[in-house]
Structure 1
Amino acid sequence: MKHPVPLIAIAALLSLSACGKSEPEVVGGPADPMADQIANAAPIELPPPVKASKQYRCKDNSLIFVDFLADDKTANLRTEKNGAPTKLTAAEAGGALKADGGFEVSGSGDQVSITVPGKGAQSCKA
């Protein structure tokens, strides 16, 4: 009884030996062209986390939403619950938070003074 298995194995070995690759296979593609720029880049500073989010009712019965950040020098103010935030900053921690256009928040507790463009400063409570 003849076995065809040895003949098939020999044929497979001969076909593989005919490939004859002389160069190694490159995996992962070329080197990163920006590797030097990334290595020499300045470290990235993440923004501070939200310390407190407050919703204030002001004297004119409007609602203002303020997110106070943990650095005590930055806050985000929104005039609508899902509106675009306005970034407010202070020169030093605990100071009045201001932005271009006339936005200002003085204080950070449950009672603050808020100025929004088109309205004067008004007292607001959380």
Structure 2
Amino acid sequence: MFIAYAVVAGLLALVLLASATFTLQRNPAITANMEKVGVPHSWLPRLAALKVAGAIGLVAGLWLTPLGIAAAVGVTLYFIGAVLTHLRAKDYELAPAAVLAVVAAAALTLRAAA
């Protein structure tokens, strides 16, 4: 289970870091999507910081089990929030957020089982 967690957490951390980078760079696709669901531009740095913290926690969770579990819980809740935000805005292009929520939940399950 530990190797599976390491792979899932590593890949999820890379995705989170890439997403945080695009968010901080105000990538037009990211900002357009955020505007579509009603997220203010002032929230972008904080959302990027949460993604970076999640990535760091997932990787640190390789050595510190409670931190890995906490990070996986946080990332799962982050993306559940993203899915709910899309639904609230009646924007049904929520597949990326839903997939990442499932991957984060898988990381949580794998870390708790390892």
Is TM (by shorter chain) over 0.5? no
Q: Give the number of the structure whose alpha-carbon radius of gyration is greater.
A: 1
Give the structure-1-normalised TM-score: 0.21
* Structure with greater strand share of residues: 1
Higher relative contact order (CA 8 A, sep 6+): 2
